[in-house]
């Protein structure tokens, strides 16, 4: 078992014929994902990496039974691509596309909630369950199967941390990249119950960053509802006051969203805090040992 995806996940790639869609389709297949269809208007009847391409998502779902989508289409068309997928019955959408207009994402967020569809992203690396499936762009080489869950707002920082966990002989159950935009489809608080309920996750690594209140909200949830060990890292401790760092969501406003406030909240909730990414693997190993698991 894993979080959100497994060996039964049938992946559709929207924008499969573009460069990024093609490259990452190949990587998902190499990881073991069941990529069953692609969709690009006007390209129906062709194939990419042996995956059949259809003109519409509706046809792709009807012909292949796809139940998850990975969206690579350009930002101006991402909203329509998502709505098309949801209307065709897809209930998990990983949106890799960045620079989606704020109001488009608001529409997508509420439309997804209305239809019972979960969004991962936008501007995210996706989700990977080693030995089972991957939907997104997280590098294949950083993984090995294990019992450490990872949930993160950062993409490349996640790759470094996951690789470090592998290098000390541990592995991951599921790695979930939430995305760094101000509005995302799945938050820490949305993701935490999924890892709590996953019997193959023994410990959770939470990777946050300055800006917003998502980490403080996660800390409150962890304090009252999450019963597994948590190791946390907050990026941006040395960010100059008043500067926006990296993601559009990494904005400190009116004293809220600082690294200090997030670290304090997570410490109060019982999480072990890493000062630097390279400390995480050892903290994970210690926490697993204390809990009597590996």
Residue of 21, 46, 25 whose CA lies nearest to 34: 25
Torsion of CA 271, 277, 279, 285, to 10 degrees: 70
Instruction: Please name every residue paired with 14 in a beta bridge, in sequence order, or none if there are none.
Output: 39, 71
Determine the 3-state secondary structure of 182 from DSSP.
coil
- Which phi-psi region, left, alpha or beta, contains residue 136 (left: φ > 0; alpha: ψ -120 to 50)? left
| Strand ranges across the sheet with 10-14 | 47-48, 51-54, 34-39, 10-14, 68-71, 92-95, 118-120
Q: 68-71 and 10-14: which strand pairing?
A: parallel
Q: Which residues have a Cβ under 8 Å from the Cβ of 286 and sit 6 or more positions away? A: 272
Rounded CA separation 101/78 (Å): 9
Residue from 24, 224, 227, 247 carrying the catalytic annotation: 247
The secondary structure of 47-78 as a DSSP string is EETTEEEESSHHHHHHHH---EEEE-S-HHHH
| 247 flagged as catalytic | yes
Catalytically annotated residues = 247
């Amino acid at each position: 078992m894993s979080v959100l995806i497994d060996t039964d996940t049938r992946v559709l790639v929207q924008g499969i014929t573009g460069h990024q869609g093609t490259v990452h389709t190949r990587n998902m297949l190499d990881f073991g994902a069941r990529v069953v269809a692609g969709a690009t208007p006007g390209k129906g009847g062709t194939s990419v990496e042996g995956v059949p391409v259809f003109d519409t998502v509706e046809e792709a779902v009807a012909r292949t039974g796809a139940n998850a989508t990975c969206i690579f289409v350009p930002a101006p068309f991402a909203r329509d691509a998502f709505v098309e997928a949801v209307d065709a019955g897809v209930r998990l959408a990983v949106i890799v596309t960045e620079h989606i207009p704020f109001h488009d994402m608001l529409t997508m967020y509420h439309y997804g909630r209305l239809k019972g569809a979960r969004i991962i992203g936008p501007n995210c690396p996706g989700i990977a369950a080693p030995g089972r499936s991957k939907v997104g762009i997280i590098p294949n080489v950083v993984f090995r199967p294990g019992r450490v869950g990872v949930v993160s707002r950062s993409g490349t920082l996640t790759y470094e941390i996951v690789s470090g966990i592998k290098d000390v002989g541990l592995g991951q159950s599921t790695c979930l990249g939430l995305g760094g935009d101000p509005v995302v489809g799945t938050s820490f608080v949305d993701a935490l119950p999924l890892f709590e309920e996953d019997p193959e996750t023994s410990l959770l690594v939470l990777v946050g960053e300055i800006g917003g209140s998502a980490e403080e909200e996660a800390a409150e949830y962890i304090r009252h509802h999450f019963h597994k060990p948590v190791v946390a890292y907050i990026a941006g401790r040395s960010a100059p006051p008043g500067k926006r760092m990296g993601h559009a969501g990494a904005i400190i406003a009116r004293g809220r969203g600082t690294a200090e406030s997030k670290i304090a909240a997570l410490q109060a909730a019982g999480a072990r805090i890493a000062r630097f990414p390279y400390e995480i693997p050892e903290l994970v190993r210690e926490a697993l040992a204390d809990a009597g698991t590996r």
